[in-house]
Structure 1
Amino acid sequence: MIVDLNLAKQYLQVDADDDDDLITLLISASESYITNATGKTFDSSCALAQLTALKIISVNYSNRNNVLPGRNVLIPNFIQGDIFKLKYYEVGVKNDNEVQNTV
């Protein structure tokens, strides 16, 4: 699991438990989206995957009342950029300033 319910609620700034089922569904959908778009499975040790999942959850949660039946929320370009990075993410490869997280 990339993101748990508590982290998602903290990111969304949601204190009440009323939307827990919806947020849990959005967590699952964001993880499926990342896996399908990259062909890879990530967990919470990959900070970029975690942040990308949180962004997807936020976009879908914020637009939950504006989506027509049968239509999906479009994923913004800034998230597509993160997906592209994750697609070519390699475990343990050093970039200029850091060692990437392991998957």
Structure 2
Amino acid sequence: MPQSAELIRLSDLPQSTPALLAEIQGGRHLMRRLLSLGLRQGSRLSVVQRRGQGLVLATGEVRIAVGSGIADKLWVTPCDLSEDDPDPDAETATDPARSSMGL
């Protein structure tokens, strides 16, 4: 992550904007809770829905609901996933074993 990257609170991230989880400002309990949900520093996520004060996040195929208290402790860097994430189908096209199996 570049040093000039803009950090914003997850609660301020516009809906459907891809981001990387850059910093977690919480204690050990919060870190464990987020890890159990599959969220850690460097995770790619986006806000898919705002529900009252809470948010529904997408990370991969998983959807996670977090309250505003947790959302305020998570700092993210908005990003363009097309820059950082190679085309997921590119690996399939170059791997003959996977392409022959229809994967």
| TM-score normalized with structure 1 length | 0.23
Structure with larger RCO (C-alpha < 8 A, sep 6+):
2
Look at both structures and tell me which one has the larger radius of gyration over its CA atoms: 2
